[in-house]
Amino acid sequence: MTSGRRILLIIAGGIAAYKSLELIRRLRERGIEVRAIVTTAGAEFVTPLSIASLTGERVFSDLFSLTDEAEIGHIELSRSADLIVVAPATADIMAKMAGGHANDLATTALLATDKPVLIAPAMNVRMWTHAATQRNLDILRQSNVSVVGPNEGDMACGEYGPGRMAEPEEILQAIEALLQAKPEPLLRGRKIIVTAGPTQEPIDPIRYIGNRSSGRQGYALAAAGQARGAECVLISGPTTLSAPLGVRVIKVTTAEEMRQAVERELPADIAIFAAAVADWKVANASSEKIKKTAATKVPSLLLQENPDILASIARHQRRPPLVVGFAAETENVVDNAKAKLARKGADLIIANDVSAKSAVMGGERNRVHVVSAKGVDSWVELSKAEVAVRLMELFAGMLQARRKAAE
């Protein structure tokens, strides 16, 4: 669907520029044409020659000559693209964009465009959290600039935190979402709550009980719902994923915080519980770091059951008309899901095999079984993004059928 579309990629000066080369390769694989502008600082990190080899086009930079400007000016550069992508977007280029500067080819093209713009910020964590950068980000968001990332993680400068550029795959997904003809707004006017990711239950201020959930399926669901016109709220445990376009993300840590956040968001039309909530929390969690001394024995943890968020919302006074749970199982996948449907009071359980051989946990693909009171529908293996789209179509159909039946 995106084949033949054109992107103007602006590569600014950051160490993450090497990931933009991979991005170009992935875009070209999908038949998307890429023209690139590299800033003077950007050319310190990746050479115009590498960019040109991958785009198959000449690269534009500030070293352009007057003849180039006559052949293809900055106006034409931005006019001929369907979308402008700035990756990496440094603190400096974000500041220039927010301030409306136009003192080089990249910023001039950005100021002269009426095309949608997507930025993938990448910088040191302190630069990212600096009030000036956050102010500029607000200004850019208000001007309808879309933002993907940054992610949290180890940084090239040796620090840890938010500031790592989104991975090429994530930028690609954001690009595809912006380029694709908008899907039908099947869920317009609906509010959807999605829980996603793991929870962390503290043992002491440093340690916690967690799990391997990446949050990918839940994030993909929120993105798919939002793209189909719904207002999606994503209540997420700690993950390294970036917020899907337009989705409001509420970050939580523990199961109890997740439950409270879900309750606060009621009423809603659909609630989807894709989070891997810890079944137990530590009843005797310590407010000080538990010390390892020769005198102390191995400490015992006293576990206590966590609230079952899905079950409590399914029996809530303000129960959403459609309550959907997930069942991650390593054996008897379908049978366990059927039992869970009744026990939890959900309308649907989406069951999947998370045994080590399936590589679902943390992976990109998923094979699900849709379990309802009517029976079981086993789907073929799909990407998590595709599973999300098809589920949203299913949910929209179910809500519509109920509305018709009520009429």
Query: Which of residues 103 and 304 has its CB atom nearest to ligand C5P in the complex?
Result: 304
Q: Which region among 6-14, 20-28, 155-163, 303-311 touches ligand C5P (by CB under 6 A)?
A: 303-311
How many residues of this chain interact with ligand C5P, rule: CB under 6 A? 14
Could you tell me the smallest distance in angstroms from the CB atom of residue 319 to ligand C5P?
14
Give me 155's structure tokens.
């940084």
- Whether residue 399 contacts residue 270, with contact meaning beta carbons closer than 8 Å, is answered with yes
Shortest distance (Å) from residue 219 CB to ligand C5P: 14
Q: x/- binding map, residues 233-272, to ligand C5P, per CB under 6 A? A: ----------------------x-----------------
| Contact letters for ligand C5P, residues 76-115 (x by CB under 6 A) | ----------------------------------------
Task: Give the range of 66-74, 275-283, 352-360, 364-372 binding ligand C5P by CB under 6 A.
Answer: 275-283
**Rounded to whole angstroms, how far apart are CA atoms 369 and 51?**
44
Name the token pair of 27. Answer: 């875009």
Active site residue 232: no
Q: Max alpha carbon distance in the chain (Å)?
A: 80
Question: Taking the complex as a whole, how short is the minimal distance between the CB of residue 402 and ligand C5P, in angstroms?
Answer: 21
Distances (CA, A) of 113 to 82, 85, 387: 10, 12, 35
Helix axes 384-406, 216-227, angle to 10 degrees: 50
What amino acid occupies position 373? A
Residue 289, classed as helix, strand or coil, is: coil
Q: Rounded to the nearest whole angstrom, what is the least distance from the CB of residue 275 to ligand C5P in the complex? A: 5
DSSP code at position 375: E
Q: Segment 191-230, which members bind ligand C5P (CB under 6 A)? A: 195
The CA-CA-CA angle for residues 200, 205, 206, to 5°, reads 75
Please give the single-letter amino acid code of residue 174. Answer: A
Question: Residue 362 in 3-state DSSP?
Answer: coil
Question: Which residue in the list 1, 63, 156, 157 is annotated as catalytic?
Answer: 157
List the interface residues with ligand C5P, window 308-347 (CB under 6 A). Answer: 308-310, 325-327, 340
Q: Which residues bind ligand C5P (CB under 6 A)?
A: 195, 255, 273, 275, 277, 279, 306, 308-310, 325-327, 340
